[in-house]
A = this chain, B = another copy of it.
Amino acid sequence: MAVADREAPPHELGELRERLAELADLRGIEQMLSWDQNTFMPPGGAETRAEHMATIERLYHHGMVDPTLGRLLDALEPWAADRDDDDDDAALVRWARRDHDKATCVPARLIEDMAREAARGYSAWLQARATGEFSHFRDALARQVELRHAYAACFPDAEHPYDVLLDDYEPGETTGRLRPLFTALVAELQPLVQDAADAGAEPNGGVFTGRFGLADQRRAILAILGDMGFEEETWRLDPSPHPFAQSPGVGDVRITTRYREDDFAYAFYSALHEFGHGLYDAGLPVTLRRTNLRDCASLGVHESQSRLWENVIGRGRPYCNWLLGRLQELLPGCFDGVDGAGLYRGVNTVRRSFIRTESDETTYNLHIALRFELELALLEGRLEVDDLPAAWNAGMSRLLGVEVASDAVGVLQDVHWSIGSFGYFPTYTLGNLMSAQLWERLRTDLSDVDEQLERGDFGQLRDWLGEHVHRHGRKLAPRELLRRATGEELRAEPFLAYLRAKLTDAGITPA
């Protein structure tokens, strides 16, 4: 009896789990509403949807800051401290504490302001995009920067205000660690782009250019993703203006892509990217369902999965060889004049371009470096919103050597700032770096992975990712997850080495 009592978890654990389950449901419902908003919602429903999202957000915040939750955590922490760090319940208590404390630092009024202004900022951004006039976005953006200052000020102990923003997307990440990472990356990428960029080249070397019916494209993508792990029972693929992946909960993984009739890569590589995200969501363990741990470790880790499938695998030589055969089967006549080496070289074409989302793997992180610089300057008060377009254009000239002709293809191109997502961009680069480190380790563990990919066998690859990344859910901090998976700290060199080797192997830069 005494033993049983000692071994049984405190009764507060059940109550905590019940509350976290409700909060997890609200998060899942929010994902569902957001998926619909970005796919099928009629335009007229926008205002109603904003109200519904705000209500879910308010209920979530209300539940998260509930003092009873704090008391449950107080009661459980001594018990959890005695348990292994990797124990589900210990992690559950740890992350609940983090979320509760973070939420209680922010006044409900500020949360509401941020939600309302995000909707307004988005509208202003849409209008500015449509007209190409930064002036239509200026006030809304200034308000977003102001709100970010107010939000950061809720955490006076942070070393740098930008750390507060980063932490929302990449728990534990700091400005101090990111700065040297970007400096090193930019220094190495600039000469690489210098050597590799082909001014006259079409995107993807023109290999995917042609005439492709939209239904044919969709069918081909579904067939290829089906080979890779997309399952009709639990996945969906839909069209949307901006590709994304979302999983409202266990057994429900939704990815989107968009289509161009004259360029199959436009849909295909977006779908491959979102497939990587989807596979992470699909691999979150069912045992963590309806907890605060059924989530990604961070956006950076999420991005490591999407970029791994899109670029490291999807633009690698073995996969390209397999892909070509599938494309020739699925889209007869469209890839007749292409060979594996040509496809491989084509999809690794390097071009200096204006638009981040359309940029190639080699230039991509320079686009991010620019955004990181500008966000820091705004947060540190070194840059005024009015001076942002000029700073953007100067940065593009310095980093990528292109002259931005209009704000539409410059400072107005991304949605993030309009909805207040400052501190988000760096996670794209973190994902790229992690994907190369994970890949290096995976190749050691699965020595014949190239042969597997050549024959379209993805099972062991998926299993490795499941074991080393997906199954942890949100239990491990992102850098700890990487450390365990690779035995290394986060660093830029593996990514740079991988990129150099590929550009040489594909015949884009001289050996």
Q: Which of A29, A44, A45, A52 has the most CB atoms of chain B within a 10 A radius of its CB?
A: A45
A234 touching B28 by the CB < 8 A rule?
Answer: no
- One digit per residue, 1 when the CB lies within 8 angstroms of any chain B CB and 0 when it does not, for chain A 34-60 equals 001000111111111101100110110
Give the interface size class of chain A: 35 or more
**Contact present for A51 and B290 (CB under 8 Å):** yes
User: Given A32-B36, A251-B47, do A25 and B52 touch, yes or no (CB 8 Å)?
Assistant: yes
- Is B236 in contact with A42, judged by CB distance below 8 angstroms? yes
Query: What 1/0 mask marks residues of chain A from 8 to 33 whose CB sits below 8 Å from any chain B CB?
Result: 00000000000001100110110011
Contact yes or no, B25 A252, CB < 8 A: no
- Contacts A29-B33, A59-B59 hold; do A52 and B236 have CB atoms under 8 A apart? no
Say yes or no: A252 contacts B48, CB within 8 Å: yes
Chain B hits for A21, CB < 8 A: 51
Known A-B contacts A40-B236, A44-B233, A44-B234; A55 and B251 likewise in contact (beta carbons under 8 Å): no
Is there contact, CB below 8 Å, between A28 and B48? yes
Cα(A236)–Cα(B43), bound, Å: 10
Q: B248 and A52: CB pair below 8 A?
A: yes
Residues of B within 8 A of A55 (CB): 22, 25-26, 29
Whose C-beta in chain B lies nearest to the C-beta of A26? B55
CB distance A233 to B42 under 8 Å? yes
**B249 touching A48 by the CB < 8 A rule?**
yes
Contact B44 A25 (CB under 8 A): no
Q: Which residues of B contact A43 (CB under 8 A)?
A: 233-234
- Given A32-B33, A36-B36, A249 and B42 contact (CB-CB distance below 8 Å): no
The answer to the question of A235 belonging to the interface, with a C-beta cut-off of 8 Å to chain B, is: yes
Report B-chain residues with C-beta under 8 Å of the C-beta of A238. Answer: 40
Q: Which residue of B has the minimal Cβ distance to A28?
A: B52
The verdict on A409 contacting chain B, using a C-beta distance below 8 Å, is no
> What CA separation (Å) do A235 and B251 show in the bound complex?
29
CB of A451 to closest CB in B, whole Å: 32
Q: Is A250 an interface residue (CB 8 A)?
A: yes
- Output the residue of A33, A49, A51 with the most chain B CB within 10 A: A51
Q: How many copies does the complex hold?
A: 2
For chain A, residues 226 to 281, give those with C-beta under 8 angstroms from any C-beta of chain B.
231-236, 238, 248-254
CB neighbours (8 Å) of A36 from chain B are 32, 36
Cβ–Cβ < 8 Å partners of A254 in chain B: 42
Contacts of A290 in B (CB 8 A): 51
A45 touches which one: B48, B232, B249 (CB < 8 A)? B249
CA–CA, A56 and B25, complex, Å = 9
Report Cα–Cα, A47/B290, bound state, in Å.
11
Query: Are A235 and B51 in touch, CB under 8 angstroms?
Result: no
> Shortest Cβ distance from A194 into chain B, in angstroms?
47
Q: Kindly list chain B residues whose C-beta atoms are within 8 Å of the C-beta of A248.
A: 45, 48-49, 52
Inter-subunit contact A250/B42 (CB<8 Å): no
Collect the chain B residues with CB atoms within 8 Å of residue A59's CB: 22, 59
CB within 8 Å for A252 and B28 given contacts A22-B55, A55-B22: no
Who on chain B is nearest to A29 by CB? Answer: B52
Asked if A29 contacts B56 (CB within 8 A), the reply is: yes
* B residues less than 8 Å from A42 (CB atoms): 232-236, 251-254
In angstroms, Cα B236 to Cα A48, docked, is 15
Determine the residue in chain B with the shortest Cβ distance to A51. Answer: B25
Expressed in whole angstroms, the Cα–Cα distance for A289 and B51 within the complex equals 11
Q: Which residues of A contact B (CB under 8 A)?
A: 21-22, 25-26, 28-29, 32-33, 36, 40-49, 51-52, 55-56, 58-59, 231-236, 238, 248-254, 289-290
18 A-B Cβ contacts within 8 A?
Answer: A21-B51, A22-B58, A25-B51, A25-B52, A32-B33, A36-B36, A40-B236, A41-B252, A42-B233, A42-B254, A44-B234, A45-B249, A46-B251, A48-B248, A48-B250, A48-B252, A48-B289, A51-B290
* Ranked 7 nearest A-B pairs via Cβ: A45-B252, A48-B249, A44-B251, A44-B234, A25-B55, A44-B233, A45-B251
